Each structure stands twice: as C-alpha cells, then as structure tokens.
Amino acid sequence: MLYMIGLGLGDERDITVKGLEAVKICKSVYIEAYTSLLSFGLSSDGLSKMEKLYGKQITVADREMVEERADEILLEAREVDVAFLVVGDPFGATTHTDFVVRAKKMGLEVKVMHNASVMNAIGICGLQLYRYGEAVSIPFFTETWRPYSFYEKIQENRRLGLHTLCLLDIRVKEPSWESLCRGKKCYEPPKYMTIHTAISQLLEVEHARGESDSGKAYDEDTKCVGLARLGCDDQMVVSGTMKELQEVDFGAPLHCLVIVGQTHPSEEEMLDFYSIKSMENGKSTRPDGE
C-alpha cells in the first residue's frame, strides 16, 4: 500500500489523526522536500521532532529522488506499506499527481489523506475562494531567463474580475549552472522568493508587456494581499497596493501574493482589517488578534 499523506502548513502537529495512524503502520516513511516546507524547514532538529511524534524514522526525498528514483519507492510499496508525506495537501503539486499515476500503473493500491494547503488556507485574507481565477507560479528571473508566460493568465483573471493567487518560487537543492557544465553537481543554497521580489518582477513584466493604460493587467497601485508563513503561529497577512507592500517586512518564508480582482463589500471589510493603515494603527494582521 502507498499512503499519500498531507501534513498541512504549520509544523509536525498539523498532520491529521487519520494520517498519523497511517504513518504508524508503515514500514517506510518518506517526506517530500522541495515543493514546500514546514515552519522548521527540514533541519535535523525539525526532522527529529517529526520522528519523535510519528514514532518512525523518516527519509527526506529530494527532487532527484522523487523525479529520478521514484520507482524504487514504488517497488518497495509493492512489498510493504509505505508513507509519502507531503507538506500541504498531497495534490498541491503536479509532481505528486504523476507519482500517484505511476503507482496505479504498477497496480499499487493508493490511499490519500488530505490536509490544508495554500489553495484553501488563502481564504484567511477574506477573499472568497470561488472568486479566484487560475493560479500562477512566479519563477526567479535570471540574467538569461525571464519568462513572462504567467502574465496572460493574470490579465485574463483581471478581465473577468477574478482574484489571482501567485505562488512564489522555491529553489531547494538546485545544481549550479557552472557545476553542470563541469559535469559534477554542486548545489546552490536554498532560495525562497519574497513578496518584494515577486512584485518587482511583476512590475517589470507589466512594463514590458502592457500595451496601453487600458490594456494593463495591473500597476503599482493595484490592490494586493501579501501572506507569509500561512498556517504558522506567526503568519502575516497584509493588504495594500503593490507599491505599499514593497515597504512591508514580511519576514521569513514561505511567501505568497494575491492580486485582488473585483470585490464584494464583505471582502472589502476583511481586506480593511488587514490593511497597511490598520497595521500602522497597531491592529493585528493575524486572525488570533495577537
């Protein structure tokens, strides 16, 4: 049996009771370590906390293991119960869907334990989930690679009056270009896109692609919501214009950004609670009021 188990967004305690029960009966337990991360990352201390709570030794499955050696995990699941832990929900990334498809093609039985993900936790900002259009991913720009493919999706969402969730790039255990050229992999330090970087890149793309004032998808005065560390005790939610959000210190990763579409009065009330003005007046940007 292959168990796909969502861990939620906060820390090791966010696993569901059903998910924890499944982990405890499995012979091998893997945790996927590159599409997202828990509040403590995957440090040795963080991993030991998980192992103590779950009562199992946990193997960290990086991108190379999942994409290049997935069959090893699946072949193991033919013989024993295997748990594959995923931050958020198991189907929050297409990589995991592909993993399940490969398992089913091998005749494996797969059980899924769902959990919270950014796709539903984003509702904390007050914008209704059914009013979101297609989500987009914002990759890190480099000197030679500056893809603009997400722009048309944002533009279409804005035309329809829909909100856009922007998922910001995470680069974990990425080989450097120089090392690949030498034929020996050396990995770059982990890198997590900030809201500041995302907005700067978005404005760069708008400047390059916006045809006219009427054709723009957004500008620095467009209302957005910046969110950091969703699901954690110190999560942060701030609404304001793109220009205003660039002045806010959102702290540690992970970050995401929502470009606001047309709003209902009830949505406006929630956005006002999280506004820059409310923050300056000492009101909390956290829902627990602390």
Question: Which parts are annotated binding residues?
Answer: 9, 89, 92, 117-118, 168, 230, 255
Binding residue numbers for S-adenosyl-L-methionine: 9, 89, 92, 117-118, 168, 230, 255
Q: Are 83 and 28 in contact (CB under 8 A)?
A: yes
